[in-house]
Structure formats: C-alpha cells, structure tokens
Amino acid sequence: MRIDGIIFDSDGTLVDSEILSARAISQILQEAGADLSVDEVLERFRGCRFSVFTEELLRDYPVIGPEAFIPAFRQRSAALFAQELQPMNGALEVVAAITIDKCVASNGPREKIESCLGTTGLLPYFEDRVVSAYEVGSWKPDPDLILHAASVMGLSPSRCILVEDSLAGVQAGLAAGVEVIGYRLSEATQAAVGHRVRVIQELAELHGLLETPR
C-alpha cells in the first residue's frame, strides 16, 4: 500500500505539552484542597476532549467550580507553555525530513495548536495543514477528525499514516481506516488496541517505517 501522507497528533506527539497541562491542573486542584498528582491527571487527561475531562474531573473533585477552574487553567498553562514548552525529542528533525504531505489533527482549538507549534518552531512545516476538532465538530475517538485531515491533503485514508500517543487518538485512526503508529503508548493502551498498531518509542523511527515499501 502506497503511503502519501502523514497525520500527526500535536500534544504529546509533536510538542511536549501534556506534562505541562497536567502540572497546571494538579497545582490548581492542590491549591483548592484536592490531592491529585501530575501522573494521575495525565492518566485521565491524555487524548480526552477537554470539556468532557473537565466535567468528569470537577465532578470527582468538587473543590473548585468550572467558572474558576477553566480560566485558571488557561492562564497557568499558557504561562507554562511560553516558558517551558519544547518539541518532543526529534520532532523538528523528523518533520523537516519528511517529503510526503503532512498535517496536524488535534482535539485542541486552533489557537492553542498553532501557538504550541509556533513556540516550538514546528508551525512553518504545517502551513494550511492544521485541523482542529473544534472546527470539524468531531473529537477523537470519533474518526471524522482524521478523515477530514486526510481530505485536507487530498488523500484517501488508506494512503495515510497517523502518529498518535493516546488511546482516543489510536481509536480514531483505526476507525478512520488509516495506518496507525503508536508513539510511546502506555501499557494499558497497547493492551486495549492489541497488535493493530505499530509502536515506536522515538520519532526518529518514522524514517525507517516511511522508507519501508508497502
């Protein structure tokens, strides 16, 4: 099968933002009186639609209301991104070397996606190739976001690869009919998807996979 396009998730795949978001959430909750570690936040937060995550989190930890939590999170996470956000290891080198069409498909709003890509130097590689779930009206694990990303590149899903780090993203890719490469998937996610995805630990491994005849 010929592969002509590659779709990247953003948070936790191209940019190392998930740990910073989890830290912001953990700090806000701890200051309000709830003891929730960064690792516990990551376990719940990764790949999840933010509004759904927020509703469930504040239901389980009712120490702060959404009217206070959401602006506090936006402000604190934006400050952390501006000061500390980095590309994932090897992301810049890998993206610069890819010669086939590429795009980003993320559950986040476009402003956040482009801000993160811009801060890390990745945005120039994805001009007019950023797809936000907020604009499509469909969030992972639904496949429509991935299908739309393929259509933006003018490609059939079967000719695309999706690089994802979350269970929701992997499920979206499988449902869309693209080939899925799992990046640093947790053991729980690997167990959930079985042998239906290739798993890599470093983005540099994409070079060999993209060069392998299909």
Task: Tell the residue number behind the tokens 């490609």, with chain if given.
Answer: 155
Of 78-87, 121-130, 203-212, the least confident: 203-212
Q: Which of 9, 11, 16, 142 is catalytic?
A: 9
- 211 pLDDT tier (thresholds 50, 70, 90): low
> Mean pLDDT over all residues of the chain?
93
Pick the more confident residue, 13 or 44: 13
Instruction: Write down the pLDDT at residue 11.
Output: 95
Mean predicted confidence (pLDDT) in 112-130? 95
Confirm whether 144 is a catalytic residue.
Answer: no
Alpha-helical regions (H) of 33-166: 38-45, 50-60, 66-84, 91-97, 110-119, 133-136, 144-152
| pLDDT category of residue 106 using cuts at 50, 70 and 90 | very high
pTM for the model stands at: 0.90
- Check whether 61 has a pLDDT greater than 80: yes
Paired strand residues for 163: 8, 181
Q: What angle do CA 148, 54, 185 make, to 5 degrees?
A: 60
Query: Cα Rg for the chain, rounded, in angstroms?
Result: 17
pLDDT at 45: 78
CB 20 within 8 A of CB 125: no
- Which residue do the tokens 């907020």 mark? 134
> CB of 20 within 8 A of CB of 80?
yes
